[in-house]
């Protein structure tokens, strides 16, 4: 056998094995891709079989359990309404003392200093009065001359009347008896007397006096200063009454039953005011009274301002002087005690609603206006009755007629409402 025969035999064997090698890889690839599909289809079939043959869950036909809420019982009691506000003190009367005549200040009182106390009519300073004294002397001389001229005219007029009667010509005309000259003399006397009065007034105004009893807030002129008419020499305030201007909301006015434009009278003296502040490291207190409310509403803040008066703030009976510019706290008390319904502070929802638990354990949503609110309780004049149960816990999405499971916050659970069927006892979550 030669080499050519061997090559032909090997080529023939290779052609026989080629189909066998090409079929197996194709089958292998099909098995690789088909295996996951078979697994998924089998799993789905098994799951469907388990669902079809498994026990069915029982349908729950019980109604949902009413939400649990805590409640407190509202109680009526005699109460005096009070509110706490803050304000700044200011004098009721404050004035700028000014000179009425021109001149140089030649003397000042020892009390004419910042903070100095004085009484009404007390001399605070003197202006050089030499020129005004001379003016008074000249005015008196003019009065004397006018008086002499009037006497002379009266005598001459009487002589002229007698001469006319001696002639026997009847009624004398005014000019014949010098009546115009007499009227002129009288007018000159009146003018001279007025000039004298004016000179005396200027002389008196050279002495600067206090217009009221009070204290000096600020001195603006001293000895040696030249002042003219209307030149300010000091700022003074009266110490008989100190005022405190307090901002009040509409709710505050309703609580105290005060109208806009209120003015105290004998029939209604106004609410009592307890004023306090810290002075010298100690709490000082004063007693006052609300005497009026302003007759307008602030356009920016929508507040109404009330005025409290404290009488004799610098008096010896006061614990300390109540000076202008002090920032104080004021508690206003109602003029009379009244019966109000009290409930815990948490009973007021969103500052205007109360949820009342009715006898059938449903709630009644009421919009109310509290008479007074403190950190611990809220007081009502109307909207909540004595003995009613009010919700004090959180209640999500409340609505009128909603059934609840009331729980007394002091202990004990009320019966569930009749419409709700009985169900197994479960733990209740109370949200506080």
Contacts of 108 (CB under 8 A, 6+ apart): 124, 125, 126, 222, 223
Q: What is the pLDDT along the chain (432 residues), one digit of tens a residue?
A: 454 554 555 555 555 555 555 566 766 777 677 777 777 877 787 778 777 776 766 666 566 788 889 999 999 988 888 889 999 999 999 999 999 999 999 999 999 999 999 999 999 999 999 999 999 999 999 999 999 988 888 888 888 777 777 777 777 777 777 788 888 888 999 999 999 999 999 999 999 999 999 999 999 999 999 999 999 999 999 999 999 999 999 888 888 888 999 999 988 888 999 999 998 889 999 999 999 999 999 999 999 999 999 999 998 888 889 999 999 999 999 877 788 899 999 999 988 899 999 999 999 999 998 888 888 899 998 889 999 999 999 888 888 889 999 998 876 555 444 344 444 433 333 333
- Could you tell me the pTM of the whole model? 0.66
pLDDT digits (tens, 9 = 90+) for 81-109: 888 999 999 999 999 999 999 999 999 99
CA gap 114, 269 in Å, rounded: 35
Q: What are the beta bridge partners of residue 237?
A: 94, 215
The domains spanning 68-78+338-408 and 82-91+239-333 adopt the same CATH topology: no
What are the E-state strand segments in 241-300?
Answer: 241-248, 272-279, 282-293
Nearest to 403 by CA among 391, 387, 385: 391
Domain 68-78+338-408 belongs in CATH node 2.40.420.20: yes
207 by DSSP, 3-state: which? strand
pLDDT digits (tens, 9 = 90+) for 120-144: 999 999 999 999 999 999 999 999 9
At residue 244, φ and ψ (nearest 5 deg) are -130, 120
Question: How far are the Cα atoms of 12, 19, 34, 37 from residue 24, in angstroms, in the given order?
Answer: 21, 9, 15, 21
Q: Where are the domains of the chain?
A: 1-52, 68-78+338-408, 82-91+239-333, 129-205
Contacts of 247 (CB under 8 A, 6+ apart): 85, 87, 298, 301, 303, 304, 305
| Architecture in CATH for domain 82-91+239-333 | Beta Barrel (2.40)
* CA-only gyration radius of the chain, Å: 52
pLDDT digits (tens, 9 = 90+) for 362-411: 999 999 988 888 888 999 988 899 999 999 998 888 888 899 999 988 76
Q: Which residue has the tokens 């009749």?
A: 418
């Amino acid at each position: 056998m030669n080499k050519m025969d061997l090559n032909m035999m090997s080529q023939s064997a290779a052609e026989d094995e080629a189909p066998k090698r090409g079929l197996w890889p194709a089958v292998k690839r099909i098995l690789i891709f088909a295996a996951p599909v078979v697994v998924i289809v089998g799993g789905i079939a098994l799951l469907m079989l388990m669902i079809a043959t498994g026990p069915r869950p029982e349908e729950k036909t019980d109604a949902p359990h009413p939400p649990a809420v805590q409640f407190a019982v509202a109680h009526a009691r005699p109460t005096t309404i009070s509110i706490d506000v803050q304000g700044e003190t200011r004098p009721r009367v404050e004035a700028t003392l000014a000179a009425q005549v021109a001149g140089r200040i030649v003397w000042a009182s020892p009390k004419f200093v910042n903070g100095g106390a004085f009484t009404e009519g007390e001399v605070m300073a003197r202006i050089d009065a030499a020129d005004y004294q001379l003016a008074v002397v000249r005015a008196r001389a003019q009065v004397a001359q006018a008086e002499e001229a009037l006497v002379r005219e009266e005598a001459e007029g009487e002589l002229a009347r007698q001469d006319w009667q001696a002639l026997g010509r009847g009624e004398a005309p005014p000019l014949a008896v010098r009546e115009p000259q007499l009227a002129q003399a009288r007018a000159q006397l009146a003018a001279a007397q007025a000039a004298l009065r004016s000179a005396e007034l200027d002389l008196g105004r050279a002495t600067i006096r206090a217009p009221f009893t009070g204290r000096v807030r600020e001195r603006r002129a001293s000895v040696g200063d030249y002042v003219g008419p209307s030149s300010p020499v000091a700022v003074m305030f009266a110490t008989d009454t100190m005022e405190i201007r307090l901002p009040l909301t509409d709710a505050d006015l309703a609580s105290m039953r005060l109208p806009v434009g209120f003015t105290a009278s004998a029939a209604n003296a106004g609410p009592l005011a307890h004023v306090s502040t810290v002075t010298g490291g100690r709490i000082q207190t004063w007693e006052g009274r609300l005497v009026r409310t302003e007759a307008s509403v602030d356009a920016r803040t929508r507040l109404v301002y009330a005025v409290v008066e404290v009488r004799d703030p610098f008096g010896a009976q006061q614990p300390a002087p109540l000076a202008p510019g002090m920032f104080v706290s004021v508690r206003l008390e109602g003029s009379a005690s009244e019966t109000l319904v009290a409930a815990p502070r948490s009973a007021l929802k969103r500052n205007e609603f109360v949820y009342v638990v009715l006898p059938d354990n449903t709630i009644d949503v009421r919009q109310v206006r509290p008479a007074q609110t403190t950190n611990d309780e809220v007081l009502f004049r109307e909207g909540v009755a004595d003995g009613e149960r009010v919700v004090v816990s959180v209640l999500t999405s409340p609505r009128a007629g909603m059934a609840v499971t009331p729980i007394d916050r002091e202990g004990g659970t009320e019966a569930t409402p009749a419409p709700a069927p009985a169900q197994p006892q479960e733990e209740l979550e109370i949200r506080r």
